[in-house]
Structure formats: structure tokens, C-alpha cells
Structure 1
Amino acid sequence: MRKKVVIANWKMNYDFHETTSFIRNFLKIVFERKINHDNKEIILSPSFPFLHISNQILQGTTLNIAAQNIHQSDKGSYTGEVSAFMLKSLGIRKVILGHSERRKFFFEKNDLLSKKIKMALKYSLDIIFCVGESSLERSKNKQFEVIKSQLKETVFHCSSDEMKYFYIAYEPIWAIGTGKTATIEQAQTMHEFIRSLFFNKYGQSISDEISILYGGSINELNAKDLFNQKDIDGGLIGRSSLEMEKFLKIVQS
């Protein structure tokens, strides 16, 4: 059975004190309230400067840390960049790649993301790979074509053995911060489609085992209904992960 996976993507939020306080308080509440997380994986993704201390705080727990990005090279003259080589030296084992904000604001295309995937795999990092369609693409009924292309040109370059390093996160870009809302049915339909692509490419076993997460404005009110869908294995949480009680309710969902 696939584990449920909840990822808190804090993006460019929280300073040193806010990051460390949140993590320590989160652990304390989980312990005090005896919140069961045996059947789920909880991953926190703070900003780069706080990865090391965050990872140290979580040592000996079942929670994990993920970086929000890597460069496509392992070292070199790339001022301001961070490599998988560096993350590995810190004991960081997971990274988010292909997030819609990286694609939009930093113009990351599939060919670049394919290089980043190779670099992450070189250092045995688990990859939370994001896919999603824009409002224009959905209005033209091209959402399935877009998702298929995003996977075909990146993840599907990898071998069956390398699939053990992947999570897939579906982001309906058209429904994030726009006032529009994807229905439960729309989310499940896309997750089912993504799983079918993995079945066609890699077969039943990998299709059944890979975790496909939803990244479309999950909150404490809709999380349970989303997570109860057959092909939705958890969530990549943005805004709601910045509020302790909301995030705890999502975890409990």
C-alpha cells in the first residue's frame, strides 16, 4: 500500500527563528497529541539557509527535510546556486523540482529539468517532481497533452529502477491563487491519468507504487475529501503549511 505523503513547501518564507520554532513546536504537538503518522510521510521544505539546522532538529524522528531546488551542475562558477552535491553533504535526501513557480519566474523548461533530475539521481536524492497546466492550456482542453509532455521529456527519460526515487506532484496552476477551484473530480481525474501514464511506460508495479500528490491549494477543509480519492496519495502544501493548526489538520486528514 502506498503511504500518504504530506509536504510543507515554505517557499521564501520564515526566518531562522520562525523556521526552527515551527519545527520544534510541530514535533512537540505531534508527540503531546499523539498524532498518528505511522502510515504517512511528513516532509518539511524550508529555505536553503535553514536546511542544515532543520535537518539536525529532525534527527532521530520520522520526519524528513526537502530542498526547494538544485542547480543542474554539481559544482562550478554559478554564483548564488546550490547543488545536489552540497545537499548530500548536509544529509539532505530530498528535493523539489519543476515547481510551477520555478517554471514561471525562472523560466525552467523541460530540458533543464531533465538535467536537474539527472544530477539529483547522481547523488541519490529523492525527487518531488511537479507537473501542471496553465489556465490557457486547460481552456484549450490541452491539460492531458501538457502533463504527458512534461513527464515524457523529463521523468520518463529515467529507468524503471530509478522510479523508486520519485514522487509526482500535480499542480493545477490555473487554480492556484486565481480564485478558481479545482473540483475533487477534476483532481482525481488528472491523478488517474498520470498513474495511467506510468502504467503505460513502466508497468503495473511502478504505477501502483508511485505516490502522486496534489498541489492545488489544499487546506484543512478540503484535505480529507482529496486524500480519500483513489489516486491522490497526499499533498504538496503551500500557504496552509505556514499555519501550524491548519497544517496539523491537513496531516491528520
Structure 2
Amino acid sequence: MPRQFFVGGNFKMNGVTSTIKSIVSNLNNSKRDPNTEVVVAPPALYLALVRELADPSVGVAAQNVYDKPNGAFTGELSVEQLKDAKIDWAIVGHSERRVLLREDDDFVARKTKAAIDGGLSVILCIGESLEEREATKTIEVVTRQLNAVAKLVSEEQWSKIVIAYEPIWAIGTGKVATTTQAQEVHAAIRKWLGETISAKVADETRILYGGSVSDGNCKDLAKEKDIDGFLVGGASLKPAFVDIINARL
């Protein structure tokens, strides 16, 4: 069966009650491709609000989750708390957390494992810096990040993971990998899945592209064989987000 197209919207640290309500209202009232799975990730403070207001067909993700159960971990969110709030997804390993908060591959892998074990699905972010891209280390970097997860996650659990390839040099910069560059990395990731996990996982796992995705470039990217959708940042705060959701129409 073909992989279902997937578009995630990462609001990052943006929005207040009024603007978040407006974004959700626009999603609810828009004509969205029924064959595209949509998941939005508001700031933690607004998770419950978005889950309450969003159409049931729109999934809601936390932008982060901790790798341990409830306890003395100030400022963190547990899997149990997210599930209690009817949140079914978590973004794990976003480059902004890897770079700004020094989250390493092993920590990201532990969080991925904890989330899946607790019943969440995961948008697992991977990607290389500009220096790594220029040193032709892109595939080395993304497979290293994936290998850390593969050590902890069973073959069956990969069905709960959507991989988001986000070249760090293209996030929020306006720079976008060419369709050829993006497809090459996506194909390499799928090849790694087949060789490291299984042919079934390689065939079924959705691999998203993220990095300054817009309504202007999404249709060309969506035509590529191994690009199964997008993880969108700033554009998810705008009405044009619906155009990205409808990239395959």
C-alpha cells in the first residue's frame, strides 16, 4: 500500500491564545486533502486548548517529551501527562534542541523509546549542519542519528515513527535543499532502513522533508519518490499551511 502523505506543523515558541485559536479555526474550516495526515505541535502551554478545539482529524503533538516517568524533573513533560491530555504525538530530536540544548543522539533515542513504550507516536527529526553538508558528511550524520534509535527500538515499533529529515542549514533561513538534494537523502535513509531494520520498515516508514518548506516549493518536493510529506515551521502559522497540506492535489 502507498504511504499516506503526512504534514506536520511545528509552531515552535510562537503564538498566544488568540492567534492559536485563529490557526486552528483556519485548519478546521479549510478544505484539506482527506488523504493527508495532519499533525500540529503548539507550545506546551496550549496543547490542551488545541486538542479541545481542533477537528478530530487533526493530530496534536508535543514539541518535546522527557525520557523518564513522572518525578522530580522541573520543566519537563512526561509521556503519561501527554497521554492524559489526549496528546498522541511528540516531536523528538529537533535540531534546535540538539544544538541549543545540547541533546545528544543517545538522549534523543531514549526519549523516542520512552514515548513509543508509553503509547505515543514520534516525529523523529534528523539532519546535518552546513559544515557537515559541505564536508559531504550528510549521510554519515543522519545514519548515526538513526543508529542510536535503532539500538533501542524494536522492528515493530518503527511503525510508530515518522522520520523528518531537516537539514539544519535550511531551517528558518529561507534556504531549501533542491528537490534532487532532498530526494537523495530521503532515498539514502530508506536504504538504511532496509539494510538495518527490514525491507518492510523501509517500505512503510514515512520520511518527511523540513527546512523552509513553503506553498511555493511544496508541490515540486512532493513529487519526489521518497518524500512522504513535510514538517513545517514558520509556514504552519500562516493560512498558506493549508496549501502545503494540499501539496499533492
TM-score (norm 1): 0.93
Q: Indicate yes or no: 2:43 matched with 1:47.
A: yes
> Any idea what SS the aligned residue of 1:218 has?
coil
Deviation per CA, 1:157-210: give whole Å up to 9, x if none.
311110110000001112223454311100000000000011112222111110
Find 1:136's aligned residue among 131, 134, 137: 131
Q: Indicate yes or no: 2:70 matched with 1:69.
A: no
Change (3 A) 1:240 1:160: same
Q: Is the 8 A contact 2:176 2:213 kept in 1?
A: no
Q: Is the 8 A contact 2:43 2:62 kept in 1?
A: yes
The residue aligned with 1:58 is: 54
- Aligned-pair distance for 1:219? 0.4
Deviation per CA, 1:191-250: give whole Å up to 9, x if none.
000000111122221111100000121101110000110000000000111111x11111
Total equivalences in the alignment: 246
- Aligned-pair distance for 1:156? 4.6
The residue aligned with 1:186 is: 181
Aligned-residue identity in percent? 38
Deviation per CA, 1:4-40: give whole Å up to 9, x if none.
000010000001121122102321133xxxx4x2211
Q: Indicate yes or no: 2:197 matched with 1:202.
A: yes
The residue aligned with 1:10 is: 11
- How large is the RMSD of aligned CA atoms in angstroms? 1.3
- Aligned-pair distance for 1:75? 1.1
Deviating beyond 4 angstroms after TM superposition, the runs of 4 or more aligned structure 1 residues are none
Q: Indicate yes or no: 2:244 matched with 1:250.
A: yes
> Any idea what SS the aligned residue of 2:60 has?
strand
The 2-side partners of 1:142 and 1:50 are apart by: 38
The 2-side partners of 1:72 and 1:126 are apart by: 14
Q: Is the 8 A contact 1:71 1:82 kept in 2?
A: yes
Q: Is the 8 A contact 1:172 1:216 kept in 2?
A: yes
- Aligned-pair distance for 1:140? 1.1
- Aligned-pair distance for 1:89? 0.7
Change (3 A) 1:13 1:155: farther
For structure 2, the 5+ residue unaligned runs are: none
The 1-side partners of 2:168 and 2:196 are apart by: 25
Aligned counterparts, 1:166-185, within 5 A: 166-178=161-173, 180-185=175-180
The 2-side partners of 1:179 and 1:46 are apart by: 22
Q: Is the 8 A contact 1:117 1:155 kept in 2?
A: no
Q: Indicate yes or no: 2:29 matched with 1:28.
A: yes
Find 1:38's aligned residue among 21, 34, 40: 34
The 1-side partners of 2:47 and 2:104 are apart by: 26
Change (3 A) 1:29 1:180: closer
- Aligned-pair distance for 1:72? 1.6
Deviation per CA, 1:113-151: give whole Å up to 9, x if none.
121112102211000000000011111111111111100
The 2-side partners of 1:134 and 1:99 are apart by: 13
